[in-house]
Structures are given as C-alpha cells and as structure tokens.
Amino acid sequence: MISAGDFRNGLTVEMDNGIFQIIEFQHVKPGKGAAFVRTKLKNIISGGVIEKSFRPTEKFPQARIDRKDMQYLYSDGDLYNFMDVESYEQIALNGDTIGDALKFVKENEMVKICSHNGNVFAVEPPLFVELEITETEPGFKGDTATGATKPAVVETGATVSVPLFVELGDKIKIDTRTGEYLSRV
C-alpha cells in the first residue's frame, strides 16, 4: 500500500477498479484547512486522463506492471503475433490493443509488451527506428533555405515529414514517440 503523500511521477496505483499512472502531482498546504495532494492520473488501459485530489493519508495498492521484451513476428489480418525470445512462446494481440504502436516497427524487431496480472494492455515500440524511404517526391534545389519539408512514405507504410534533400531509398532515423524525422543514416 502506498499513501497519497508518497506519490511520485510514473508511479502506478490501483484505484476505482482501474489502474492509473501518476503523470503530475502537487502537495498543497493551504493557510487554512488540511493539506491535500492534487494529481493528474492516466488510466493505462483506456488512456483517459483525470484530475483528482486526495488527503495525504489515503492509501492505495501499488499496481505491478510487467514489461517484457518480445519480438514482433508478423500481422495476420487483425491479429499481431509476438514471440518471447527466451521461451519461444508466441502470443497474438488484436488491433485494439496495439493501436498505432507498430506504425514504425518492422517485422522481427523487438518491442516491449506491457501487462498487468497477465492482461496485455499496451505495446511499446523502440524509441528510435531506422527505416528506408519507399516513396517521396524529388526535392528542388534552392528550396532548402526555408527549412521546408515534404511527405515521405517509409517501408512500414507510415508517412513522415522529411527535409527536401532526403531521397528515395535513403535510410532515416525516426523518433517513434512523436513520429518525427531525426537524421539520415
């Protein structure tokens, strides 16, 4: 059990039949009345964010989140198949659980599978990936002074905004959290 007075960013707690991660917290000590803790909580299953206040003495059970490295094998219609590289055990997850997490992930790459009590609720892609450009328009010389960008399709099918000097067949580095172009490889 963890009390509201011990809340920290990133901590996960079980509350109101859900699992919540603390995004922000603030201890408030008004001049009149009792102190309280103001928090911003994210439901890790639905993704919704709520704001709530607690007395510092309120206690909640800490939620145990398991993150396991697994290899993304292939997609089969609406199912995405993953393999544990240690036990070779395979699991299939539906598209609702995956969301946009595999937008920049190629087959046979490693991802983290997040679960609580054996129920998988999210897939975390690697922070940075290197992908090849499969489709883009040619850039024009002289247009580079403004820092202009153009759309480019990478080998996973996702579209990224890239600088004009990036050409078809180039390998680029992408930040998977924001979907932004970082550099050529």
State mean pLDDT over 163-169.
86
Distance (Å, rounded) from C-alpha 62 to C-alpha 19? 9
Q: How much of the chain exceeds pLDDT 90, in percent?
A: 26
Q: Are residues 49 and 10 in the same domain?
A: yes
CB atoms within 10 A of CB 6: 13
Q: Using one digit for the tens of pLDDT, what is the confidence trace for 136-160?
A: 888 766 655 667 788 999 998 889 9
- Domain tally, the chain: 3
Q: Are residues 120 and 79 in the same domain?
A: yes
Domain boundary residue among 97, 124, 151? 124
Same domain? For 119 and 152 the reply is: no
Domain at 83, CATH number: 2.40.50.140
Q: Which domain holds residue 7?
A: 2-60
Looking at 104, 124, 144, which one is the last position of a domain? 124
The whole-angstrom distance between residue 34's C-alpha and the CA centroid of its chain comes to 37
Average pLDDT, the chain: 87
Distance of CA 159 to CAs 59, 110, 179, 181, 182, Å? 45, 21, 9, 10, 14
